[in-house]
Amino acid sequence: MYERLERFVETVETVGATKAGSSKTITIESATASALVAGVDIGATSVAVVAFAQDGSVRTAWHRHNGHPVQVVRDALAELSVDPSARIGVMGAGAGRLVSQGVGSSVDEVRAIITMVRRRFPEARNILDIGG
């Protein structure tokens, strides 16, 4: 899960966050501004959200969804002050379900990985992704 969250962060050239415990919110920089861009990864058991605000701050949240990923994502977006008009990219096992309810647009995980690797490691010739 952390690696997938990191891909969101790296794709927009900023820093990532660590996962700890069963539910954790990590503030990388304090922010009062609403987020303009957010990335959501809905996995089989958890949700990871990263939000980028106009003031340059980055906020993240990670929560187990216990079978209710859509509600947990909505709560996490509110928790991170994601503006309703923000661009929200969604990927992972539950992406289609969230997008079908009008939240965000689907992001192809393979393209996100390729973009991150090309930016961080332009000399790389191969990518090995072992999902979890």
The CA-based angle 19-50-101, given to 5 degrees, is: 115
**Residue 2 CB-half CA count within 13 A:** 9
For residue 7, give the 3-state DSSP assignment: helix
pLDDT reading at 11 higher than 80: no
- 111-131, pLDDT tens digit by residue? 888 898 999 999 999 998 776
Confidence (pTM): 0.68
Distances (CA, A) of 40 to 23, 109, 114, 125: 15, 11, 18, 28
pLDDT reading at 2 higher than 70: no
- 44-90, pLDDT tens digit by residue? 899 999 998 888 888 999 999 999 999 999 999 999 988 877 899 99
Residue 23 is predicted with a pLDDT of 41
Query: Average pLDDT, stretch 27-51?
Result: 76
For 106, the enclosing helix (H) or strand (E) is: strand 105-106
The DSSP letter of residue 102 is T
> Which residue is listed with tokens 């090309």?
118
